């Protein structure tokens, strides 16, 4: 295989691809509607803290900022995600450059990243995953640069990116462990013994200190959260870990993945970057062991495929076919009537539909109550998504703020009226909530009227009366993490 030496700066074409990606995401931003997580971030932003039971503070802060600038605007809310995705595209091209890819292959790398289903899917929404993907992409680019140049001061830039990323999501720790394992496997002691690495570690801790201190003071709830997710989804995540690497990367890029593996493992020009190859199965193994989501290790899968593109390129026809398949699945380009089909491959798209209809349904149940109960009703939801929808759409429909014992919503506000009638959403009539009342009667079933299977579709709506004891006593029993 030919030695690759061309490391010219990415051309204007890469910038055009990044800008076009961001523009597309902005154009489709108002399509369909809010995602359940976005409404959760919006409410979390009204209760700013250095941490929450399920996440650090950065994404809720961005939601708060967007809502301050343009209240209720999905375009404003998702603008930072579009810009972050553009940054991810540029980082992909820079990564190919560090591995020696010429300008044509840098452009190929940028387009492959820009049209990836996962990149577009998380780029469409305000999500912790969007900014985490950018952070991983930047760290991988910087690591490739460090491996190529041996310039150990690059550790400081890696530490800065990782430290800021810790304010968004702790998943960057997995990448750090995988990369360190790769360096050890390749005996890159020249990089591991550097004082700059120690300085980078200090920088990470300094930048992440506020959220780490918050976690410590509150008993490290994110460990409990991670365990809850593993208990609920661990088996499924382990089964789908490897298949989803291929599906999320794009099956047509498997040859590039194989070429990248071979180039990093055997080629003289690729040998210096071999720690990246060791990091890939390490990240997969850590994800498997912890029962993490399959997409956790995906950036390293993409990085190995980009190594294959840097070495030998990829056919434009494969890029085009992958884009044609990925775009209508990842983005709301088709009519809402197609969501039942596209949601089979991208379940997140379903969760951006049906929220106004849900709140209308709840409003109808509240309106059916006797007026003396209606004036002091408590609307309670089993999940933060439904609570977020009520808080977003409810005021225009005369509904009070929602309560939910789910994740951080349990700390945003707690019921206090022990004699109030409760309208409860997504609780079973014979479940935990019912044990705390004289009677809980199902009066309706959620139906979005769109034929779309969402988390809340088909769930019961209850009316509960006669609380046993007080809300402070009941609330801890209802709290849940998932």
Structural domain boundaries in the chain: 12-346, 355-478
User: Within 10 A of 173 (CB to CB), how many other CB atoms are there?
Assistant: 15
**CB 319, CB 432: distance < 8 Å:** no
> How far is residue 200's CA from residue 408's CA, in Å, rounded to a whole number?
31
Q: Which residue, among 456, 442, 355, has the nearest Cα to 399 in the 3D structure?
A: 355
Tens digit of each residue's pLDDT (9 = 90 or more) over 319-371 = 999 999 999 999 999 999 999 999 999 999 999 999 999 999 999 999 999 99
Q: How far is CA 422 from CA 54, 58, 132, 394, 446, in A?
A: 26, 33, 39, 16, 17
Quote the DSSP letter at residue 459.
-
3-state secondary structure 198-239: HHHHHHHHHHHHHHHHHHHHCCCHHHHHHHHHHHHHHHHHHH
> How far is residue 41's CA from residue 43's CA, in Å, rounded to a whole number?
5
**CB 41, CB 108: distance < 8 Å:** no
> How far is residue 261's CA from residue 270's CA, in Å, rounded to a whole number?
10
Q: What is the pLDDT of residue 8?
A: 61
Tens digit of each residue's pLDDT (9 = 90 or more) over 4-51 = 445 566 688 999 999 999 999 999 999 999 999 999 999 999 999 999
Average pLDDT over residues 79-104: 96
What pairs with residue 52 in β-bridges? 55
User: Within 10 A of 347 (CB to CB), how many other CB atoms are there?
Assistant: 12
User: Within 10 A of 25 (CB to CB), how many other CB atoms are there?
Assistant: 24
Tens digit of each residue's pLDDT (9 = 90 or more) over 201-242 = 999 999 999 999 999 999 999 888 888 888 888 899 999 999
pLDDT of 2 over the 70 cut = no
Q: What is the pLDDT of residue 6?
A: 52
216 CB burial (10 A radius; 0-12, 13-18, 19+): exposed
What's the mean pLDDT when you consider all of the chain? Answer: 94
Tens digit of each residue's pLDDT (9 = 90 or more) over 150-193 = 999 999 999 999 999 999 999 999 999 999 999 999 999 999 99
> How far is residue 295's CA from residue 482's CA, in Å, rounded to a whole number?
18
Q: Which residue, among 336, 259, 328, 248, has the nearest Cα to 293 in the 3D structure?
A: 248
């Amino acid at each position: 295989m030919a030695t690759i030496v061309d490391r010219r700066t990415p051309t204007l074409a890469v910038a055009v691809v990044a800008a076009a990606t961001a523009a597309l995401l902005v154009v489709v931003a108002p399509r369909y509607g809010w995602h359940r997580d976005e409404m959760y971030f919006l409410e979390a932003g009204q209760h700013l803290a250095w941490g929450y039971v399920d996440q650090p503070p950065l994404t809720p802060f961005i939601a708060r900022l967007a809502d301050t600038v343009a209240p209720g605007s999905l375009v404003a809310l998702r603008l930072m995600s579009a810009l972050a995705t553009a940054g991810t595209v540029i980082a992909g091209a820079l990564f190919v450059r560090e591995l020696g890819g010429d300008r044509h292959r840098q452009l190929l790398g940028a387009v492959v990243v820009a049209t990836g289903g996962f990149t577009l899917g998380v780029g469409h929404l305000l999500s912790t995953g969007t900014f985490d993907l950018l952070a991983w992409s930047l760290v991988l680019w910087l690591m490739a640069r460090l491996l190529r140049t041996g310039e150990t001061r690059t550790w400081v830039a890696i530490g800065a990116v990782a430290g800021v990323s810790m304010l968004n999501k702790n998943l960057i720790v997995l990448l750090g462990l995988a990369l360190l394992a790769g360096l050890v496997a390749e005996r890159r002691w020249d990089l591991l013994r550097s004082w700059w690495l120690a300085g980078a570690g200090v920088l990470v801790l300094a930048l992440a200190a506020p959220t780490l201190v918050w976690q410590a003071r509150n008993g490290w709830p994110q460990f409990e959260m991670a365990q809850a997710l593993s208990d609920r989804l661990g088996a499924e995540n382990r089964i789908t870990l490897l298949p989803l690497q291929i599906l999320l990367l794009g099956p047509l890029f498997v040859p590039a993945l194989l070429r990248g593996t071979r180039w990093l493992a055997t080629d003289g020009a690729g040998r210096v970057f071999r720690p990246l190859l060791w990091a890939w199965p390490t990240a997969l193994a850590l994800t498997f062991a912890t029962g993490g989501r399959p997409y956790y290790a995906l950036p390293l899968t993409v990085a190995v495929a980009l190594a294959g593109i840097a070495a030998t390129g990829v056919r434009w026809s494969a890029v085009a076919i992958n884009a044609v398949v990925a775009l209508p699945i990842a983005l709301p380009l088709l009519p809402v009537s197609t969501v039942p089909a596209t949601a089979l491959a991208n379940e997140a798209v379903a969760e951006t539909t049906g929220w106004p209809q849900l709140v209308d349904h709840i409003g109808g149940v509240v309106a059916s109550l006797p007026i003396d109960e209606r004036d002091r009703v408590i609307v309670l939801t089993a999940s933060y998504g439904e609570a977020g929808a009520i808080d977003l759409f409810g005021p225009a429909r005369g509904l009070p703020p929602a309560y939910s014992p789910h994740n951080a919503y349990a700390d945003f506000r707690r019921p206090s009226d022990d004699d109030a009638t409760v309208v409860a959403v997504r609780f079973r009539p014979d479940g935990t909530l019912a044990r705390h009342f004289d009677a809980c009667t199902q009066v309706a079933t959620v139906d979005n009227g769109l034929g779309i299977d969402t988390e809340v579709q088909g769930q019961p709506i209850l009316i509960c009366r006669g609380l046993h004891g007080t809300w402070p006593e009941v609330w801890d029993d209802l709290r849940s993490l998932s």
